[in-house]
Amino acid sequence: MRFPDPRALLATLLVLAAPAAWGGAEQVRAGILAELRERYPALSPADMAAGAAAFDAARLAQAQARQPAPGAAEAIAAGKRIWTHRFAKGRSLAGCFPNGGRRIAAAYPQYDRRVKRVVTLETAINQCLKTYGQPLLDPADPATMGAVLAYLRSLSEGQKVAIRVAGAAAEARFEDGRRLYFTRLGQRNYACASCHLRHAGSYFGDAALPPPVGSAVSWPWLREGHPVSLQVRIRECLERMGAAPFPAGSEELAQLEYFLAYLSNGLPLRPGAWRPADGPHM
Amino acid sequence: MMRARRLLLGAAALVLAAGTRAAPPDGRALFVRPDKGNCIACHQVPASAGPAVRSDVGPRLDAARLKGWGRARLREVIEDPMRANPDTVMPPYGRHRILDAAEIDRLVDYLHALP
C-alpha cells in the first residue's frame, strides 16, 4: 500500500480544535495538564506515564509483574557494549558525552542554537559517530540504536525530565511539534490528538488510549523483548493513521518528540517499561 | 480409473475457480478488518454481530440506536462523517477512498441487520 506523504498534505489539512491563542510552551503544557486533570481527577501525571495501563487495572497488574521487563537487561548490556566500543584512537561513544553519558538523557531532546535544530539523543549519537568517520546507527533498529538508547537512558534512571524551551527559536520548534500533533494526517484523517488527547483513556480496540503527558518517561519500552524508542512508536502510529511515517531521524519526529517530552517535565525517568504487542485493531 | 481422474481434474478446476473469483468481503468482515473499516476499534456491536471488544471511542451500534436511519443517511455517515460533525474522529471512508461505494453499501446492509 502506498501512503500519501504527510508533509505534502500538511498545507491543505485541517487543524483540529487546538489551543487557539499561542502563549508559549508553558501555557500549552498547563492547558493540556488542566484538561486531563479535569477529566481524570484521580490520575496524576506520574500515573499517566504507565500509558494504557493508567486506565486499565488488569494491564497495570501485568506491567507491575514484569518489572524489570523481559529483555531489558539484555538490551542494556548490548547497548553498553556499543557505547564503550573503541573505534579509533581510543575514541568511543562514551567519550563524546559529558560524564560518559551519565545523567544527560532527561535534558533531551534539546534545541541547539548553533545548528538551529532540535537534537534528539539519536541525533547526538549519530553526530558523534559522524565526527569519527564511523557508520551511523539506524534510529529504527532495535538491536543497535534501540539498545544504545536503553543503556544511555538507564544512566539517567530517576532523573527528572527537564526539557528547556527557551527563546523564540526554541519556542518555534516546540510550536512546530504541537502543530503536527494536532493536525489531521494520512488517509484515516486522524491527528495524534484525536486519539491521545480527545479520547485519552477511551478504548481503541482493547487498548486504553495513553495521554500525551508522561509518554516521554519510560521509553525505550520493551515489547516482546525488543526496545521501542519514542520515535519508533510515533512512526508506528503514523503508519496506522494511513500516513507515510516521517523518516527515522527527521526534523518532524524530533519536533514531535520535543513537544511530547516537554509535557513530561518534572517526572522521573523510568526507562525500560514493559508494553504488550499491539492488538489486532491497532 | 478414467472416471476418477476426470473427477479429480474437475475438483481441481473448481478449487482454482474459487481461488481466482474471491467473493467481495461481506459487511461484517469490512466492519472488523483493520485494513478496511476497522470500525470495531471504536464501536461495539451486539455479541452475535461481531467480536467482543472494549472499544468505546464511538457509540455502541445496535438496532435500537440505528432505528429509523435510512440507507442514504447511513451511507453519508460512512462516506464523510465530518459533514455532520467537522470535529469527529471517525474517518471519512468514502471521501478518503478507504472504502469504495460497493463496500459502503455492504456496511449499510450490515448495520441494518444488527440485532
pLDDT in tens, B17-46: 444 445 657 999 999 999 999 999 999 999
Quick one: pLDDT at residue A89?
Answer: 86
CATH of the domain at B88: 1.10.760.10
pLDDT in tens, A252-281: 999 999 999 999 999 999 999 999 999 888
- Domains for chain A: give ranges and CATH numbers: 1-282 (1.10.760.10)
Pick from B57, B86, B98: CB nearest A188: B98
Closest-CA distance of chain A to residue B92, Å: 7
pLDDT in tens, A159-194: 999 999 999 999 999 999 999 999 999 999 999 999
Which among A243, A130, A139, A145 has a CA at the least distance from the CA of A185? A243
Mean pLDDT of chain A: 93
Whether the predicted pLDDT of B14 surpasses 70: no
For residue B59, tell me if it sits in a domain.
yes
For residue B15, tell me if it sits in a domain.
no
The number of folded domains in chain B is 1
Q: pLDDT above 70 covers what percent of chain A?
A: 92
CA A195 to chain centre: 16
The residue range of the domain holding B69 is 26-112
Whether the predicted pLDDT of B88 surpasses 90: yes
* Chain B residues interacting with chain A (CB cutoff of 8 angstroms): 34-35, 38, 40-42, 53-57, 82, 86-87, 89, 91-92, 96-98
Mean pLDDT of chain B: 86
Pick from A189, A195, A199: CB nearest B92: A189
Closest-CA distance of chain B to residue A195, Å: 8
pLDDT in tens, A184-223: 999 999 999 999 999 999 999 999 999 999 999 999 999 9
Q: Check if A194 contacts B (Cβ < 8 Å).
A: yes
For residue B18, tell me if it sits in a domain.
no
Instruction: Please indicate whether residue A195 is annotated as part of the active site.
Output: no
State the catalytic residue, choosing from A96, A192, A195, A237.
A237
For residue B16, tell me if it sits in a domain.
no
Written in H, E and C, the secondary structure of chain A is CCCCCHHHHHCCCCECCCCCCCCCHHHHHHHHHHHHHHHCCCCCHHHHCCHHHHHCHHHHHHHHCCCCCCCHHHHHHHHHHHHHCCCCCCCCHHHHCHHHHCCCHHHCCEEECCCCEEECHHHHHHHHHHHCCCCCCCCCCHHHHHHHHHHHHHCCCCCECCCCCCCHHHHHHHHHHHHHHHECECCCCECHHHHHHHCCCCEECCEECCCCCCCCCCCCEEECCEEECHHHHHHHHHHHCCCCCCCCCCHHHHHHHHHHHHHCCCCECCCCCEECCCCCCC
Q: Check if A277 contacts B (Cβ < 8 Å).
A: no
Pick from A16, A188, A281: CB nearest B40: A281
For residue B80, tell me if it sits in a domain.
yes
The ipTM (two decimal places) reads: 0.92
pTM for this structure?
0.91
pLDDT in tens, A24-65: 999 999 999 999 999 999 999 999 999 999 999 999 999 999
Closest-CA distance of chain A to residue B97, Å: 8
Whether the predicted pLDDT of B74 surpasses 70: yes
For residue B1, tell me if it sits in a domain.
no
Whether the predicted pLDDT of B64 surpasses 70: yes
| Section A127-139 average pLDDT | 97
Contacting residues of A for B58, CB less than 8 Å apart: none
For residue B47, tell me if it sits in a domain.
yes
Which among A104, A96, A109, A102 has a CA at the least distance from the CA of A155? A102
For residue B65, tell me if it sits in a domain.
yes
